[in-house]
Amino acid sequence: PGRARPMATRESRRSPRRTLLLIPLLVAAIVLVAPAAAAHDDASDDSTEEFTTAEFLAPTDGSLVTFDPSTLFGALVNHTVVVAFTVEWCALCTGYVPEFARVAAAFADANVTDDGLTPGDDDESDEQEETTRRRQPRDDPGSSSKLVFGTVDAERHKRLAATFGVTNAPYVALLRNDDWYDRATGVPHSPATRFGGYLAFAPTVEWLNARLGTNVHAKPIVADLSTETIDAYVADPNADVLVEFYAPWCGHCKQFAPFYHEIGAHFSADPRVKIARLDVDAHRVAADSYGVTGLPSLQLFPRGYKRRGLHFRGSERTPARIISFVKSPQVYLVEATVTDMPEWDCVLWLESRGVLARGEISGRFGLTPEHLRAFESVARDGTKGEGDEAAGDDTAGGKEAGDATSGGTTRRVSYEDIDPDADADDAARAMIAAAHRWAGRSRWLETMEILTCVSHTPALRRTGIGSSPAMWNFLDNAKLHVEDPSLAASGFADDSAGGEDGSDDGEDGGAT
- DSSP calls for 64-103: PEEE-HHHHHHHTTT-EEEEEEE-TT-HHHHHHHHHHHHH
The Cα-based distances of 295 to 246, 248, 281 in angstroms read 6, 10, 11
Peptide bond into 342 cis (omega under 30): no
Task: Judge contact between 52 and 73, C-beta under 8 A.
Answer: yes
Q: Which among 75, 65, 88, 56 is positioned nearest to 149, based on CA atoms?
A: 65
d(CA 436, CA 225): 45
Question: Alpha-carbon distance 268 to 202, whole Å?
Answer: 7
Tens digit of pLDDT per residue, the chain (512 long)? 455 444 444 544 555 555 555 544 444 454 444 444 444 444 444 445 567 777 888 887 888 999 999 999 989 988 999 999 999 999 889 988 988 998 998 888 665 444 444 433 444 444 444 433 333 333 343 344 478 999 999 999 999 999 999 999 999 999 998 788 887 887 888 888 999 888 888 889 989 999 988 888 887 889 999 999 999 999 999 999 999 999 999 999 999 988 998 899 889 888 899 999 999 999 999 999 999 989 999 999 998 889 889 888 776 788 888 998 898 888 888 888 888 888 888 998 999 899 999 999 988 888 888 878 888 777 665 433 333 333 333 332 333 333 333 444 444 566 777 877 788 999 999 999 999 999 999 999 999 999 999 999 999 999 999 999 999 999 999 988 887 766 655 444 444 444 434 333 333 333 32
Q: For residue 89, what are the contacts with CB-CB under 8 A and spacing of at least 6?
A: none
> Which SS3 state, helix, strand or coil, does residue 370 take?
helix
d(CA 299, CA 278): 11
- Please name the amino acid found at residue 455: S
Amino acid (1-letter code) at residue 362: S
Q: Give 342's DSSP letter.
A: P
Pairwise CA distance, residues 449 & 476, whole Å: 12
Contact 233, 223 (CB under 8 A): yes
Count Cα atoms within 13 angstroms, Cβ side, for 334.
Answer: 22
Contact 474, 432 (CB under 8 A): yes
Pairwise CA distance, residues 448 & 498, whole Å: 16
* Residue 83 bridge partners (DSSP): 150, 173
**Residue 280 C-alpha from the chain's centroid:** 22
